[in-house]
Amino acid sequence: MSAARATFTLDGLELPCEPGQTILEAAVAAGRTIPHLCWHPGLGQSGACRLCTVRVDGQLGAACTTRVRPDSTVECRTEELDDRRRMLLQMLFVEGNHFCPGCEKSGDCALQAAAYEVGMTGPHFEEFFPSRPVDASHPDVWLDLNRCILCKLCVRASTEVDGKGVFAIAGHGIHAHVIVDSPSGRLGDSRLAVTDLAAHICPVGAILPKRRGFAVPIGQRRADLERATTPAHLRALADTQRQDDRG
């Protein structure tokens, strides 16, 4: 007789889990979504953005770094936790320069999609409008720090997968920013290749290949299609939240 399958509960649903999996890995494997920005299945753990924070048997923890325990109870999409996520997203939006209508990443941006998912469409805070550089010195890739959310995905991809260490984080607090390992500090003098994972992993369009902008029309992009298939009652909930944001 085979051993009973290990399971845990996520928002009232019983899901399978495997030894060593994080809560986020187990959820994704079971076809469930936990909002996140800094997690990638091909990279190690980080816990940088905290958007995936859940309650595990009553205790808060990042789903991307917390190991799933059989028979544990995990709460994700509660009003309390979504309030936390809206606050985090609002701060990320105002700390950078995110102009979604004119951004070529719109419709395929993880930050934008997360905001829609939790019903956040207004900043609620005064925008910082920081002065950040755009580095177009690389022949195939450009770097726009106005969109960077310090998720560290490019740093980890360049180190863990590409083996080049092209990107790093410098500074502290509001002055933290991505830097490039090259003699000039410019992307064009670095070892980054357009085929590197680090050139494609950015969730918000701070790092993008050149000459491919708007190749997929807006309205046909990943997040556009996912929103189109969202159940009507969830769309109505998001619309209600938008009205609250404006009020």
Which segment, 41-45, 193-197, 238-242, is predicted with the most confidence on average? 193-197
- Contact present, 27 and 33 (Cβ < 8 Å): yes
Residue 36 is predicted with a pLDDT of: 96
What residues form DSSP beta bridges with 180? 167
CA dihedral 153, 159, 164, 166 (to 10 degrees): 40
Q: Using 50, 70 and 90 to split pLDDT, how confident is the model at 233?
A: very low
Q: What is the CA radius of gyration of the chain?
A: 19
Residue 1 is predicted with a pLDDT of: 32
Residue 228 is predicted with a pLDDT of: 58
Q: Using 50, 70 and 90 to split pLDDT, how confident is the model at 124?
A: confident
Q: Using 50, 70 and 90 to split pLDDT, how confident is the model at 238?
A: very low
The pLDDT tens digits of the residues spanning 147-188 come to 999 999 999 999 999 999 999 999 998 899 999 999 999 999
What distance in Å separates the CA atoms of residue 52 and residue 183, rounded to the nearest whole number? 37
* Three-state DSSP class for residue 134: strand
The pLDDT tens digits of the residues spanning 211-227 come to 887 777 777 777 677 76
Please name each of the domains of the chain with its CATH number: 7-77 (3.10.20.740), 79-131 (no CATH), 133-211 (3.30.70.20)
